[in-house]
Amino acid sequence: MKEKGIEITEFIGRRSCVKGTLTAEGSIRIDGTIDGEIKVKGTLLLGKEGYIKGTVNASNAIIRGKVEGNLYVTKKVELQAGANIKGDITCAVLVVEEGATFNGNCKMGEPTPKPTEKLPTKST
């Protein structure tokens, strides 16, 4: 199944409820309820009736439903009209459409080094 040019390899229907850790090697569309951690190597597409309570890790995320938890996305997060986010977002690019709500903090751009890592120094 393709949606927005994305090959969806996994699908969680609106009558489905998953508790625990959900891992997807490709892209996934979720129209049901997830209570736990999500790890997606491709794109996470959360339908307008989809609900996630927990942490999301993905390459890209297109959100139309509700998320209560933090999103860690290496590339792009797109909050479409009707999306409702209660949590923090860490991503490279954030797109917020009119009609989406986002209550939390957002960190974009280059990842911040952990306290034990040193920043590379520039030679002059």
Whole-angstrom distance, CA of residue 62 vs CA of residue 46: 6
- Predicted confidence (pLDDT) per residue in 28-58, tens digit: 999 999 999 999 999 999 999 999 999 999 9
Tell me the domain boundaries of the chain: 2-108
Between these two residues, 114 and 24, which has the higher pLDDT value? 24
Q: What share of the chain is helix, strand, coil (3-state, %, to 5)?
A: 0, 55, 45
User: Can you name the residues that pair with 22 across neighbouring β-strands?
Assistant: 38
In this prediction the pTM is 0.83
